[in-house]
Amino acid sequence: MSKIIGIDLGTTNSLVAVWQNGESKLIPNAFGEYLTPSVVSVDEDGSVYVGKTAKERLISHPNETASVFKRFMGTAKKYQLGNKKYLPEELSALVLKKLKEDAERYLGEPVEEAIISVPAYFNDMARNATKNAGVIAGLKVERIINEPSAAALACQNLNQEEDTTLLVFDFGGGTLDVSLVECFDNVIEILAVSGDNQLGGQDFDDLIGEHFIRSLQLDIADLQPETREVLRKCAEKCKRELTENPTVEMVVNCQEINGKLEISRKDIVSICAPLFERMGKPISKVLADAQITASQIAQVVLVGGSCKMPVVRQYLQHLLGRNDISTLNPDHMIAMGCGVCAGIKERSEDVKDMLLTDICPFSMGTQVINPYNQQRHLMSFIIERNSPLPISREDVYTTVHDNQQELRFHIYQGEAMYADENIELGEITVRIPPRPKGEVMCFVRFTYDINGVLEVEVRIPLTDEKKRLVIVNKELGMTQEQIDAKLKEYERIKVNPAEEEENRFVLEWGARLYAQSVGALKQEILKRLQYFEYAMAQDTYRLSKIRKYTTVFLAYVEKILGQYTGFSDEIMKDGSWYQEEDEEEKEIDALFKEWDESDEEGGSDER
Ligand code: ADP
Ligand code: MG
């Protein structure tokens, strides 16, 4: 049996893990990093870039690059990249494909199956879209696991503690998920979930960016899209630096904005006050739903990059009145848990066969006549929020008119009283024999399994007729032919070898720094990049050296861009930044000079 991989398909970053030698192991990507940005970019010749390289293109090619598409999984939102349109699930498929390839390279064997984690709050459409994404990427996805279950599994696997109640606080780039998870006797059970799927680290970036712009007496609405991207990036950088230091200087230096501002952790508390307020709500909700008090929580598990912010940690300590909050790497928890889950699915001897029970994160039901307002149907709930899964529930309905010929059930998911305020999942109709109203009975059974697939069965005892409906999103459900066609299409997508990818990254990195800089530095970056491109085309045997040389230069630029608001030409002219490492670098330096000078003479076409 081939290996099963576990994937944390995040809004901002994705990770892949595998169960190996008795433990969950994260798999590095081509850059040797565990986090692969969930960003997809397409270039002129149709090549697709995923991850770090694509992320660099967010600024230089905003119209060809997509990010944060996880927020729209299961919707029909389309992303136009170049001359092609993509659904969120297709973009996710490209990320999954990349992770699959990284895993295959790492394991040295093909991978056919994956377990993918999704937020507990994902509705059916989003779950199905995630499965579709797996299929498009060439992965069998039999198991979708809720992110908090994965985090709890990782925690449980590391601590080997029995019988605890964990609060999993997952604060990522775009979403907040709060869950209460109970572990006892090899069973992991989610007691309650809540969250805010429009609250994440990016909201901090936005508010910091707006604060910065206000301090310059500018209006964010007047900025070019590229500038906004630069601003967002600088704000995020500032936020991350505040994780290390209590005060930092935020600097933005590009075509439209030139400025700096000192920002402290304390400022963040006031700038982002509305975000902190929203953060507390889902915690109160899960505690109330599960009817437990904060003091009954044995452990608080922090998950997601935004939990690294000291202000977030402090806020939680204050809110929950404790100072023993887990300090395991919040970036890795979910992927590590997906790896454990892969081990369980492979039935590895060395992993405790934990039984994962999940709960249904939302209520589901059908619409019924509202006797007081015929225009607005009411919800009749069949499965209630927070019911343990799998679950099967039946309810009985009857006709409301004389000689009714059919019964139609509209299936909804959501908590609202009026049906039309919830999400419609599908409909099912049965023919019935004409009888006076109230005389035909109909049993409706909802069965919701651990993978989040809803099966609806209606049964008319009078005629013994039965009808079944398995809910797949109308818009996104694909036929086998459509899946096959997609698979073919995606197989053709050019995969860049690791070295080519590194080159591409250097070029995109340079392009972003070019966009962020001005004056002499801008010109210097351009020259270096052109030289690098020239080397890529001509000089393959020295290419890796030149790449390193260019990387050192760009890292230097990155550093000074963060330090100064403007550059005097002097800084560039005296070349003081460059530290010679060895003879070979000197040789390359000389070659660059030679190339550079020939360029000034007008160059020649032979290059
Ligand atoms: P997702 O699960 O949505 O993909 P992640 O868990 O990867 O998201 O978290 C991404 C978010 O975490 C981003 O908003 C990022 O800015 C933030 N983040 C990452 N590292 C840090 C850090 N050191 N300090 C503060 N925020 C961070
Ligand atoms: Mg996440």
Q: Is the CB of 201 under 6 A from ligand 1?
A: yes
Q: Is the CB of 337 under 6 A from ligand 1?
A: no
Taking the CA atoms of 415, 420, 424 and 427 in sequence, report the sign of the dihedral they define.
Answer: positive
Cα separation, 5 vs 139, in Å, equals 10
Q: In this structure, which residue's CA is closest to atom 26 in ligand 1?
A: 306
Per-residue three-class SS string for 404-458 = CCEEEEEEEECCCCEHHHCEEEEEEEEECCCCCCCCCEEEEEEEECCCCCEEEEE
Amino acid identity of residue 218, one-letter, is L
Q: In this structure, which residue's CA is closest to atom 12 in ligand 1?
A: 305
Q: Indicate the top mutation candidate among 12, 146, 333 to test ligand 1's pocket, ranked by most ligand atoms within 8 A of CB.
A: 12
pLDDT, tens digit, 9 for 90 and up, residues 552-579? 899 888 887 765 433 444 444 444 444 4
Cα separation, 73 vs 245, in Å, equals 36
Q: Is the CB of 236 under 6 A from ligand 1?
A: yes
- Which pLDDT belongs to residue 66? 96
Share of the chain above pLDDT 90, in %: 43
Report the chain's mean pLDDT, rounded to a whole number.
Answer: 84
Cα separation, 75 vs 473, in Å, equals 9
Cα separation, 483 vs 476, in Å, equals 11
Which has more pLDDT, 265 or 536?
265
Which has more pLDDT, 10 or 164?
10
H helices present in 17-78, as ranges: 52-60
pLDDT, tens digit, 9 for 90 and up, residues 10-40? 999 999 999 999 899 999 999 999 999 999 9
Lowest mean pLDDT among 153-157, 270-274, 377-381: 153-157
Q: Is the pLDDT of residue 231 over 70?
A: yes
Amino acid identity of residue 514, one-letter, is Y
Q: If you average pLDDT over each of 128-132, 260-264, 391-395, 537-541, which comes out highest? A: 260-264
CB-CB contact of 110 with 80 (8 Å): no
Output the DSSP codes for 205-217. HHHHHHHHHHHTT
Cα separation, 67 vs 443, in Å, equals 45
User: Taking residues 446-460, what's their average pLDDT?
Assistant: 81
Instruction: Count the helices and strands in the chain (H runs, E runs).
Output: 16, 26
- pTM of structure: 0.67
Q: Is the pLDDT of residue 478 over 60?
A: no
Q: Is the pLDDT of residue 113 over 50?
A: yes
Q: Strand ranges (DSSP E) for 54-122? A: 65-67, 79-81, 84-86, 113-118
User: Taking residues 131-147, what's their average pLDDT?
Assistant: 91
Cα separation, 134 vs 128, in Å, equals 10
Q: Is the CB of 309 under 6 A from ligand 1?
A: yes
Q: How confident is the model at residue 582 (pLDDT cuts 50, 70, 90)?
A: low
Atom index in ligand 1 nearest the CA of residue 306 equals 12
Catalytic positions, please? 8, 70, 147, 170
Cα separation, 179 vs 173, in Å, equals 17
Ligand nearest to the CA of 305: 1
Amino acid identity of residue 528, one-letter, is R
CB-CB contact of 147 with 335 (8 Å): no
Could you tell me whether strands 113-118 and 140-146 are parallel, antiparallel, or unpaired per DSSP bridges?
parallel
Across 277-300, b (16+ Cβ under 10 Å) vs e yields eebeebbeebbebbebeeeebebb
Cα separation, 280 vs 286, in Å, equals 11
| Distance in Å, CA 186 to ligand 1 centroid | 31
Atom index in ligand 1 nearest the CA of residue 240 equals 24
CB-CB contact of 532 with 550 (8 Å): yes
Cα separation, 500 vs 93, in Å, equals 22
Angle of the 543-563 helix axis to the 519-538 helix axis, nearest 10: 160
| Distance in Å, CA 306 to ligand 1 centroid | 5
Phi, psi of 57 (to 5 degrees): -80, -5
Which single residue is written with the structure tokens 């936020």?
239
CB-CB contact of 36 with 29 (8 Å): yes
Atom index in ligand 1 nearest the CA of residue 175 equals 3
Q: Strand ranges (DSSP E) for 206-275? A: 247-253, 258-264
Q: Is the CB of 306 under 6 A from ligand 1?
A: yes
pLDDT, tens digit, 9 for 90 and up, residues 315-361? 998 888 888 888 789 999 999 999 999 998 887 766 665 556 666 77
Paired tokens of 209: 């960016």
User: Taking residues 508-516, what's their average pLDDT?
Assistant: 83
Q: Is the CB of 37 under 6 A from ligand 1?
A: no
| Distance in Å, CA 171 to ligand 1 centroid | 8
Q: Is the CB of 404 under 6 A from ligand 1?
A: no
Q: Is the CB of 197 under 6 A from ligand 1?
A: no
Q: How confident is the model at residue 108 (pLDDT cuts 50, 70, 90)?
A: very high
Q: In this structure, which residue's CA is closest to atom 22 in ligand 1?
A: 240
Atom index in ligand 1 nearest the CA of residue 12 equals 4
Ligand nearest to the CA of 175: 1
Lowest mean pLDDT among 75-84, 277-286, 405-414, 498-507: 498-507
Ligand nearest to the CA of 68: 1
Paired tokens of 569: 């030409």
Give the residues across from 261 on adjacent strands: 250
CB-CB contact of 367 with 378 (8 Å): yes
pLDDT, tens digit, 9 for 90 and up, residues 250-308? 999 888 888 999 999 999 999 999 999 999 989 988 888 888 888 889 889 999 999 99
- Which pLDDT belongs to residue 423? 84
pLDDT, tens digit, 9 for 90 and up, residues 184-223? 766 777 788 888 878 999 999 999 999 999 999 999 999 9
Distances (CA, A) of 401 to 269, 404, 438: 59, 6, 8
Question: Which residues make Cβ contacts (< 8 Å) with residue 433, sequence separation at least 6?
Answer: 440, 462, 463
Which has more pLDDT, 441 or 159?
441
Cα separation, 362 vs 109, in Å, equals 39
Paired tokens of 501: 């990818």
- Which pLDDT belongs to residue 351? 67
Question: Which residues make Cβ contacts (< 8 Å) with residue 311, sequence separation at least 6?
Answer: 242, 265, 268, 269, 272
Q: Is the pLDDT of residue 395 over 70?
A: yes
Q: In this structure, which residue's CA is closest to atom 6 in ligand 1?
A: 304
Q: Is the pLDDT of residue 605 over 50?
A: no
- Which pLDDT belongs to residue 476? 36
Q: In this structure, which residue's CA is closest to atom 23 in ligand 1?
A: 240
Lowest mean pLDDT among 86-90, 237-241, 346-350, 476-480: 476-480
Q: Is the CB of 117 under 6 A from ligand 1?
A: no
CB-CB contact of 414 with 422 (8 Å): yes
